Amino acid sequence: MKKSEIQAVLFDRKLYDPKQASREITKMGLIPLKEVHVTKDKLRYRIQDPAKFSKLRTKKTSKGVELILEFK
């Protein structure tokens, strides 16, 4: 089984504002590399540089939260 790491965390903008999402990131023990990237539908917090990994998978963890997992 390959080891996965969190590359990014996405929050649904209908359910989270940036302040709420930031609190959730802190609860997870994660430190974003950059400021939040805001799109029409999502708040994206990049945790690691995507260039380090070759495969990505998305996992929905709870309502309105998705993890982008990377595999080495």
Of residues 15 and 4, more confidently modeled: 15
For the question of whether the overall pTM of this predicted structure is more than 0.75, the answer is yes
Model confidence over 17-51: pLDDT tens digits?
999 999 999 999 999 998 999 999 999 999 988 77
Domain boundaries, the chain: 4-71
User: How far is 1 from 13, CA to CA, in rounded Å?
Assistant: 34
Bridging pattern class, strands 37-38 and 42-46? antiparallel
Q: Which helix (H) or strand (E) holds 20?
A: helix 18-27
- Residue 68 — φ and ψ, nearest 5°? -95, 110
User: Which residue is it, tokens 């969190």?
Assistant: 6
